[in-house]
Chain A
């Protein structure tokens, strides 16, 4: 049932660009990038029990990496793009090493602080990052310059990356992660080095967030320091919680809904943050299991009336 649904969704995704205008193709690419971003975040939160409040750091680093390596260091676009997740992983090793020693809200604060450090660098190191103006002119030339082609490129990478994360979650590593989330003390006493597993998870999640950032940067054609700003770190949390952190594909749904909401609402009012704030309040106070929880509830309701 689930895999049938996933197959159907994939089929729809394949046909999508032929039914959409260019504007909406770019929105669809954004959804793909953010879906990967949200899934990589949920690898930390939903499966590893690690609440990172600085995940935007890696999305931003991936985006800046492709921009700087391509436009400033003179690498080819493809090489720069391939290097982006690796750069994000390297940064994740450093930040992770300093952060995974602590858990819960302390971990959240540390990751947040390091993200703000990167934000400051993006803002102040103008010679490297373009400062306030960011780096623009990142639209790929050649085949990938065509929105439909880039859409398929993004679809392929995003789907492949999400599949990799899916395999990881169900692998022995993923089992250990699940055990770690529930009972780290016990896990140490079955011979698992909990801190190193945490760090590895953090690095993997960082690398995939970097890939998502690079994907999005080449689609939007630019990167700005705001991608690293503090409000950016709430985005993956909202997406994951909106979709439901206990479901593997929940964050994908959350990302799609979030992006579409933003497009629709910010087209109607400049007070998009106000609306977003209210949506978050509603989510937190009334929908603790997100849309997937709501879905389950409705299904149960539906079955209940069908039987009775």
Chain B
């Protein structure tokens, strides 16, 4: 019994400290929101085109680099920050259109290994181009003035930017939900995700649908990168952890499901944040363990449909 008590005290001692728990919860949810922005795009793209976009991590990274480049144009402020967000989102949207219509479109009917290699080639190419343009050193970006500092609630101090991230992420999630549930475009996306033959039978211009979905996914990744820019070190290795986490998220949540991406992101955010407290060396392994458990119980993910 003593051994158990020691174990609990060592690994879960923080649980009795509400301040630590609250702060970690905030980190978990805000990181989860960033993760959601990437994994929602990854999931949507997969749902419609059945392509796993391994380049999604470098698109996120590109968003962060664009945001920091815009921020360096002047002194830190809300205006430049907003310009960075818009620039990264729009820039990645355009890049998304180019990638989809120039490359991906040629291989929708090709075997899976070609699709995989193609998005992988983009990882190599964009990853190296980023090094060519921005060099290998890390960039840092300041949180813009009105979002700096922290606020007090229930006797706990919360960084404002984290709260901002959560609010922003929820707003994007709501917007996505609206677009999917209430627009014609959303109906098409859902139809394509569920049954691709049906889409063809309806005689819909699938080219535009595929392009917009990919571009939107890329834009979301860019937005995520820009939002993450003030709280991460922006370097050429940034994309690696991001794509792996996003991957775990969509496998847990279910490929093709935006709701799955949201729930999966929050779960991975929570496991990362609290795993770090409980088992500092094993936090990353824990998210994979979570994934393995989900896979054994529900092989197609929490919100995915069996293929």
Contact = CB atoms under 8 A, between A and B. Distances in A.
Given A45-B113, A109-B52, A117 B124 contact: no
Contacts of B214: none
Most chain B C-beta atoms within 10 Å of own C-beta, residue among A108, A277, A281, A283: A277
Given A274-B124, A276-B124, A277-B125, A117 B118 contact: no
Contacts of A280: 117-118, 120-121, 124
Nearest to B280: A124
Interface residues of A, number: 42
Contacts of B129: 274
User: 6 tightest CB-CB pairs across the interface, nearest first?
Assistant: A277-B124, A274-B128, A277-B125, A280-B121, A273-B124, A117-B288
A117 B121 contact: no
Contacts of A51: 111-113, 116
Nearest to A105: B112
A99 to B, nearest CB: 9
Contacts of A230: 240, 243-244
Interface stretch (A4-12, A203-211, A234-242): A234-242
A230 B241 CA distance: 10
B247 interface: yes
Interface string A96-109: 00100110111011
Nearest to B252: A113
B117 A238 contact: yes
Contacts of B284: 120, 123-124
A102 B255 CA distance: 13
B295 A110 contact: yes
Interface string A267-307: 00001011011101101110010000000000000000000
B216 interface: no
B132 interface: yes
B192 to A, nearest CB: 16
Nearest to B289: A117
Contact of B106 (A98, A105, A285): A285
A277 B291 contact: no
Contacts of A237: 113, 116-117
11 contacts: A117-B288, A117-B291, A237-B116, A271-B128, A273-B127, A276-B121, A277-B120, A277-B125, A280-B117, A284-B118, A288-B114
Contact of A284 (B50, B114, B127, B288): B114
Contacts of A34: none
B296 interface: yes
A105 B251 CA distance: 12
A277 B129 CA distance: 11
Interface in A253-267: none
B196 to A, nearest CB: 13
A116 interface: yes
B237 to A, nearest CB: 11
B278 interface: no
B282 interface: yes
Given A113-B248, A274-B125, A98 B132 contact: no
A159 interface: no
B103 interface: yes
Given A98-B295, A108-B112, A230-B240, 12 more contacts: A101-B299, A106-B307, A112-B247, A231-B120, A231-B123, A234-B116, A245-B113, A271-B128, A271-B132, A274-B132, A277-B123, A281-B125
Interface of A: 45, 51, 53, 98, 101-102, 104-106, 108-110, 112-114, 116-117, 120-121, 123-124, 229-231, 234, 237-238, 240-241, 245, 271, 273-274, 276-278, 280-281, 283-285, 288
Contacts of A284: 107, 110, 114, 117-118, 121
Nearest to B129: A274
Contacts of B296: 98
A9 B153 CA distance: 75
A285 B102 CA distance: 11
Contacts of B113: 45, 51, 237, 240-241, 245
Nearest to A112: B247
B271 to A, nearest CB: 13
Interface string B43-85: 0000000101000000000000000000000000000000000
Interface string B241-272: 00110011001000100000000000000000
A283 B112 contact: no
B103 A285 contact: yes
A143 B116 CA distance: 42
B231 interface: no
Given A234-B120, A284-B107, A105 B244 contact: no
Contacts of A240: 113
Interface in B272-307: 281-282, 284-285, 288, 291-292, 295-296, 299-300, 307
Most chain B C-beta atoms within 10 Å of own C-beta, residue among A114, A230, A288: A230
A109 B117 CA distance: 13
A273 B131 CA distance: 11
B244 A277 contact: no
A105 B50 CA distance: 8
Contacts of B131: 271
B21 interface: no
A231 B299 CA distance: 25
B122 interface: yes
